[in-house]
Amino acid sequence: MQTTVIEPFYPKLKTKLVDFAGWKMPVWFTSTLDEHKFVRSSCGVFDVSHMGRIILSGSNVVDFLENLLPSNISEINIGASKYTALLNKSGGIIDDLIIYRLKDLSYMLCVNASNAENVLSWINQQENASEIQIKNLSTTYAQLAVQGPTSLEHIQKILPSFRPIHFGEISSHNVDEGTCYVARTGYTGEHGYEIYTPNSHGIKIWGQLLNNGVHPCGLGARDTLRLEAGYSLYGSELNTERNIFESGIGWISKTKTQPHIGMIEKENQKSKIRAFTMVDSGIPRSGMSVIIGDEPVGIVTSGGRLPSLEKNGGLLFFENGAPKVGTEIFIDIRGKRKLAIIQKKPLYSNRIQ
């Protein structure tokens, strides 16, 4: 298994490590519930250095990206970002990602760890790829997600030059080790930041954050937090068999009319993803059947405990038309039909924007 540069410096608590997409990653350091609560109430830090970081630059980079992605890339200002996706020729989702505009003709893609090699391969297969400078920072840069209501004060303690930025923005900072980027992005539904920085600096600020009282957090809390926020996960809600519209992220292409890879007809395309909470007892898990009347109509794509709501719930995919908010459904939990109800996304919100 691969390890991040931060892994040797994990606190020696009762940390549980697992294989995640070929990486040795922590599920939790103390417990998923504790870490979830820390992020919702104060501040937690996630080592997400396993994710991919790719910089694309060059005089033709905007045209290249406009063809590559379903979002309007020319609309992104310097120091801003967009959530978008990489599509195959039939419109299936290769990966969902965040694209940051670092400079006039320089963009950084943050991609999922499980798809990083596929993303690089797909980019290099495209026409005119040889005209684009492609720099893979995945092994030379660390990535830390500092998330929670007090995250700003903790960022300013470790980076005194940092000034508050708006949701989706990114700023650069000169540190002894090179250039450090701080983005107002995250995967928790809380006020938070993601730090992209040279490995040695990442190791240093990980220690500083922990010494300043920021709680280390693992994949368990990252999943419960994103589930409450209604964020999709690649491999669960998103995959190569579904297009962006039925996967519930069609808004990323709402205003784009320019042809691009994987472009499909937008008319009559509707999301087949819905959020839900359980009424009956029982914990829903991925793959469980969704039933309306006596008919199986879909599956649970992500499910579990929602600590902030003190309920169980998650996200569903419906094969055909998805029901309206308030519709009663049943989840087949180990052979027993358990009552649940369709809810509006997000299930939890603190108005982070």
3-state secondary structure of 306: strand
Q: Is 150 left (phi over 0), alpha (psi -120 to 50) or beta?
A: alpha
The mean pLDDT value for 186-196 works out to 97
In this structure, are 154 and 291 located in the same domain?
A: no
59 domain residue, yes or no: yes
The mean pLDDT value for 122-130 works out to 95
Q: Please compute, for residue 38, the number of CA atoms within 13 A of its CA located in the half-sphere on the CB side.
A: 25
Residue 56 has pLDDT above 90, yes or no: yes
28 domain residue, yes or no: yes
Select from 103, 136, 169 the last residue of a domain. 136
In this structure, are 108 and 57 located in the same domain?
A: yes
The mean pLDDT value for 144-158 works out to 98
What pLDDT is attached to residue 118?
A: 96
3-state secondary structure of 209: helix
In this structure, are 174 and 323 located in the same domain?
A: no
What pLDDT is attached to residue 351?
A: 61
- Angle, helix 32-41 to helix 219-229, in steps of 10 degrees: 50
In this structure, are 37 and 152 located in the same domain?
A: yes
In this structure, are 72 and 155 located in the same domain?
A: no
- For the chain, how many structural domains are there in total? 3
Q: Which domain holds residue 144?
A: 7-51+138-229
244 domain residue, yes or no: no
- My answer on whether omega of the bond before 307 falls inside 30° of 0, hence cis, is no
262 domain residue, yes or no: no
210 domain residue, yes or no: yes
Q: Which CATH number characterizes residue 314's domain?
A: 2.40.30.110
Q: Which CATH number characterizes residue 157's domain?
A: 3.30.1360.120
What pLDDT is attached to residue 269?
A: 86
Q: What pLDDT digit, counting tens, does each position of 11-48 carry? A: 877 889 999 999 999 999 999 999 999 999 999 999 99
In this structure, are 42 and 58 located in the same domain?
A: no
In this structure, are 159 and 40 located in the same domain?
A: yes
In this structure, are 129 and 162 located in the same domain?
A: no
Residue bearing tokens 């992020």: 39
Select from 116, 136, 156 the last residue of a domain. 136
Select from 83, 118, 136 the last residue of a domain. 136
In this structure, are 64 and 121 located in the same domain?
A: yes
In this structure, are 166 and 308 located in the same domain?
A: no
Q: Which CATH number characterizes residue 58's domain?
A: 3.30.70.1400
Residue 352 has pLDDT above 70, yes or no: no
Q: What pLDDT digit, counting tens, does each position of 207-266 carry? A: 999 999 999 999 999 999 999 999 999 999 999 999 999 999 999 998 899 999 999 988
240 domain residue, yes or no: no
The mean pLDDT value for 129-141 works out to 97
- Could you tell me whether strands 215-217 and 44-47 are parallel, antiparallel, or unpaired per DSSP bridges? parallel
266 domain residue, yes or no: no
278 domain residue, yes or no: yes
**Residues above pLDDT 70, as percent of the chain:** 99
In this structure, are 40 and 159 located in the same domain?
A: yes
In this structure, are 114 and 63 located in the same domain?
A: yes
